[in-house]
Amino acid sequence: MIWNRLQRQAQNAFGFSPTEANGFLALLGLLAVLVVGPLAVQSFWPSPTLPPNPTDAALLDQAVAAIQLEQRPQAEAEVDKPATRDFSPGPEQVALRPFPFDPNQLTEEQWKKLGLKPWLAQRIVKYRSRGGKFRIKADLKKIYGFPELAYDQLQAYIQLPESLEKGWLNGQDQVVASARSAPPAPEGERAHAPAPVRGRPAPASFDLNQADTAQLRAVRGIGPVLAERIIKFRRGLGGFHSLDQLQEVYGLPPEARQALLEVATLPPAPAINGLAINQADVNTLKTHPYLGYNLAQVIVNYRQQHGPFATPDDLLKTQVIDAEKLAKLRPYLKFE
C-alpha cells in the first residue's frame, strides 16, 4: 500500500520508528490540506461579484471634482471677471455724489451730501474750528482717515489750486492756481456751492498706450493713485487692445472712466507686446493679469508633456482655460 511504502521511506530517511513515521506523515497531510484546500474551494465555488454601487461612484466623482477645483487658479477669481468679481471696489472706496466745493466753507451736512461718512465730516469741521485751513487740494488728504480713492474722485471738484508758489504780493503768499475746471454741480447743490474758479482747458486727446501719469491726471476724476494703477495694468497686459479694458482697472470709478474715454484713443491696430506662449516660463506668464501663477504652471506643464501650442484653441485642451478666458488672451498670444 502507498501508506506502508511512505512509512518505510520515512523510517529509512529519518530513522523514525513506525509510530514516529505515522505521525510525520499525518502532519504532512494536514499541512497539505491547509495550503491547497482554500485554492481548491475558490476554484470550485468562486465568490460572487457584487454589482457596482452608484453611491460609491458618485462619491468618487465628487472627490475628483473637488481635486480639480483645488487645482484651478486662485488668480482667476481675482482677475478674470473684472466687471463682477475681480475688480470690486476696495474698502477705501465710498459712494460719492461730487459737486464743486471749497473745503474751507462746507458745513457738516454739506460734507455728508457730498458722500462722506458722518464721522469724517465731523472731523473736517472740527479741524477747521481749531484754526485749520485748506490752501491747496492736497491739504484735504491731511485729514486722518480721508480715503485716497475718495480724494482721487473729488480732486477735480475741489475749488482750490493744485499748488502754492511762495511770493510776496501785498504781504500775502501768491497763489498759483492750476486747478482744473470743475463740472457743473447737481441741481440740488448749486445753492450751496461756491462760485467756480477759472481752470485750465480740458486735456487734449492722447493715445492710451502712450500716455504718462501727467496726461492721465489731467483727466477729471483721476489722481496720482489711479494714474499709476492704469499704467501698471497696461504694463502687465502688454498694452491695451481695446478701450473696453478700462473697466478692468481696479477702483476706477465710472465717472472717471467716462471722462477718460472722452479723450483717450487707440489706433485701429494697437501695437502691443505679445505673450510668447511657447517660450515664456512660469515667472513670465504669471505676471500677465489674465493668467496668474496657477494657470501659468498648467500651461508650462501641458507644454512639456504635449509639445508647443500651435493655435490659440490648443489652450482649451488644458481643461482649465475656457472660451471666455481664451477670448481675453487671444490678442496677446504669440506662437513662435
Report the b/e string of 192-218 with b at 16+ CB within 10 A: ebeeebeeeeebeebebbebeeebbbb
Can you give the CATH number for the domain in which 215 is found? 1.10.150.320
25: domain range? 2-32
Question: Which class for 91: exposed (0-12), middle (13-18), buried (19 or more C-beta within 10 A)?
Answer: exposed
CA angle 293, 298, 299 (to 5 degrees): 100
Q: Which residues pair with 333 in a beta bridge?
A: 275
Domain count, the chain: 4
How far is 63 from 56, CA to CA, in rounded Å? 11
- Asked if the structure places residue 76 within a domain, the reply is no
CATH number at residue 325: 1.10.150.280
Q: What is the pLDDT of residue 127?
A: 86
**Whether pLDDT at 116 is above 70:** yes
Do 318 and 248 fall within a single domain?
no
Mean pLDDT of 10-38: 79
pTM for the full predicted model: 0.45
Q: Is the pLDDT of residue 142 over 90?
A: no
Q: Is residue 254 part of a domain?
A: yes
Question: Do 258 and 281 sit in the same domain of this protein?
Answer: no
* Range ranked top by mean pLDDT from 14-18, 21-25, 215-219: 215-219
Mean pLDDT of the chain: 76
Q: What is the pLDDT of residue 172?
A: 40
Distance separating alpha carbons of residues 176 and 163, to the nearest angstrom? 7
User: Average pLDDT, stretch 178-200?
Assistant: 45
Residues in contact with 54: Cβ distance below 8 Å, sequence separation at least 6, in sequence order: none
Say if 115 falls within a structural domain.
yes
Residue 81 scores a pLDDT above 60? no
Q: Is 311 a domain residue? A: yes
> 179: which 3 cell numbers?
486747478
Asked if 261 and 284 sit in the same domain, the reply is: no
Same domain, 299 and 327: yes
Mean pLDDT of the region 117-145: 86
On the question of pLDDT at 289 being above 80, the answer is yes
Could you tell me if residue 165 is inside a domain?
Answer: yes
In a domain, 45, yes or no: no
Last residue of a domain, one of 230, 265, 300: 265
CA–CA separation, 285 and 208 (whole Å) = 24
Residues 285 and 321 in one domain: yes
Q: What is the pLDDT of residue 181?
A: 42
Is the residue at 93 inside a domain? no
Cell 520515512 belongs to residue: 10
- The three three-digit cell numbers of residue 261, written as one number: 474715454
Where does a domain end: 157, 189, 221? 189
Domain membership of residue 65 (yes or no) is no
> Which string of DSSP letters, residue by residue, matches 179-215?
PBPPPPPPGGGTTTSPPPPP-BPPPPPEETTT--HHH
pLDDT value of residue 193? 42
The pLDDT assigned to 51 comes to: 56
Q: What is the pLDDT of residues 214-269, one digit of tens each?
A: 999 999 889 999 999 999 999 999 999 999 999 999 888 888 889 999 999 998 88
